[in-house]
């Protein structure tokens, strides 16, 4: 049993539909992001005055802060894409680099590093054979649709919901309510699987859903209200297979 597991097996007998988050739940966004940033760093001599890890770390912190602002409607999508590079460059003392050029290079590199989270594909496909499944993501529409196509997610998912199209971002209960309507299920019949405690677990619980928290990093919040916590996909698969046969 891993360090993030809970001793009590959750009661998922009422589950009729399962939604998954996309980035860092099924698809390894962080690895793709970090490798793309290293690609960018290697192409621009102006950036090589700093260590590559410093660039990756500063961008990660800045991007996280701006996504929080985006969720709170404090910045627009375009402002987020601009400021995540401009603010990073300013903090690191990097000049004479246009954010538009860097954003384009970064996005080209980012798509070349897409890959599944370990064992996520196997679990997702098997679960889709037992339950109707869907995807609900906060990512940008253009990028997420490319991922849907690249990973053939429409072969398995009944609904592909993107916050930009739905008009609300997780953890807003309105996007969870919209997803429930699309699935034709009551809140208590839905399970949400995601890696973000603040967006996925909190949003799901506040909407009356069951939640499964993919806690790969081993975070230990003061109060973990997730119905099930796992760090390896075989544990989620085992719980759902066991539930589905009882």
Residue 10 within any structural domain of the chain: no
Q: What is the pLDDT of residue 245?
A: 52
Please identify, among 112, 147, 165, the residue that sits at the C-terminal boundary of a domain.
Answer: 112
**Co-location of 101 and 180 in the same domain:** no
- 131: domain range? 17-28+116-244
- The tens digit of pLDDT for each residue in 10-57 reads 889 999 999 999 999 999 999 999 999 999 999 999 899 999 999 999
Residue 8 has pLDDT above 80, yes or no: no
| Same domain flag for 37 and 71 | yes
Within-domain flag for 206: yes
Any idea what the Cα angle at residue 198 is, between residues 60 and 187, rounded to 5°? 140
pLDDT tens string 176-219: 999 999 999 999 999 999 999 999 999 999 999 999 999 998 88
Same domain, 100 and 123: no
- Same structural domain, 106 and 209: no
Residue 8 included in any domain: no
| CA–CA gap between residue 123 and residue 43 (Å, rounded) | 37
In a domain, 39, yes or no: yes
- What's the pLDDT tens digit per position in 170-184? 999 999 999 999 999
Q: Which of 112, 130, 151 is the last residue of a domain?
A: 112
Q: How many Cβ atoms sit within 10 Å of the Cβ of residue 229?
A: 22
pLDDT in tens, 82-116: 999 999 999 999 988 899 999 999 999 999 999 99
Beta strands 210-214 and 228-230 are parallel
223 with 238, same domain: the answer is yes
Same domain, 210 and 222: yes
- What is the predicted pLDDT for the residue at 1? 40
Give the residue carrying structure tokens 């402002």.
79
Q: State residue 7's pLDDT score.
A: 44
Indicate the pTM of the whole model.
Answer: 0.92
Is the model's pLDDT at 136 over the cut of 70?
A: yes
Are 230 and 236 within 8 A, CB to CB?
A: yes
Contact 21, 136 (CB under 8 A): yes
Q: Both 60 and 169 in a single domain?
A: no
Residues 71 and 152 in one domain: no
213-221 long-range contacts, CB within 8 A, separation 24+: 214/21, 214/24, 214/25, 214/117, 215/4, 216/24, 216/117, 218/3, 218/4, 219/4, 221/197
Out of 78, 112, 146, pick the residue that ends a domain: 112
- Which CATH number do you get for residue 41? 1.10.150.240
Asked if 99 and 158 sit in the same domain, the reply is: no
Q: Average per-residue pLDDT in the chain?
A: 93
Do residues 180 and 83 both lie within one domain? no
Q: Which two tokens stand for residue 72?
A: 């709170």
Q: Is the pLDDT of residue 73 over 50?
A: yes
145 in any annotated domain: yes
Look at the chain and report how many structural domains it folds into.
Answer: 2
Are 124 and 43 in the same domain? Answer: no
Are 149 and 170 within one domain? yes
């Amino acid at each position: 049993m891993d360090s993030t597991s809970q001793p009590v097996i959750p009661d998922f007998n009422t589950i009729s539909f399962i939604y998954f988050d996309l980035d860092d739940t099924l698809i390894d966004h962080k690895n793709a992001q970090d490798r793309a940033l290293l690609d960018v760093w290697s192409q621009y001599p102006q950036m090589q005055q700093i260590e590559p890890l410093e660039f990756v770390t500063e961008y990660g912190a800045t991007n996280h802060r701006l996504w929080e602002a985006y969720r709170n409607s404090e910045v627009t999508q375009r402002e987020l894409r601009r400021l995540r590079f401009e603010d990073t460059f300013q903090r690191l003392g990097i000049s004479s680099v246009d954010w538009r050029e860097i954003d384009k290079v970064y996005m080209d590199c980012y798509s070349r590093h897409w890959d599944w989270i370990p064992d996520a594909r196997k679990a997702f496909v098997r679960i889709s054979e037992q339950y109707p499944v869907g995807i609900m993501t906060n990512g940008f529409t253009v990028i997420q649709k490319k991922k849907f196509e690249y990973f053939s997610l429409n072969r398995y998912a009944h609904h592909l919901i993107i916050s930009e199209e739905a008009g609300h971002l997780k953890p807003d209960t309105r996007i969870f309510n919209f997803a429930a309507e699309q699935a034709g299920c009551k809140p208590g019949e839905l399970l949400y699987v995601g890696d973000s405690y603040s967006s996925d677990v909190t949003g799901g619980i506040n909407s009356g859903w069951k939640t499964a928290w993919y806690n790969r990093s081993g975070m230990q919040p003061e109060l973990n209200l997730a119905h099930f916590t796992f760090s390896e996909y075989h544990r989620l698969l085992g719980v759902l297979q066991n539930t589905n046969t009882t």
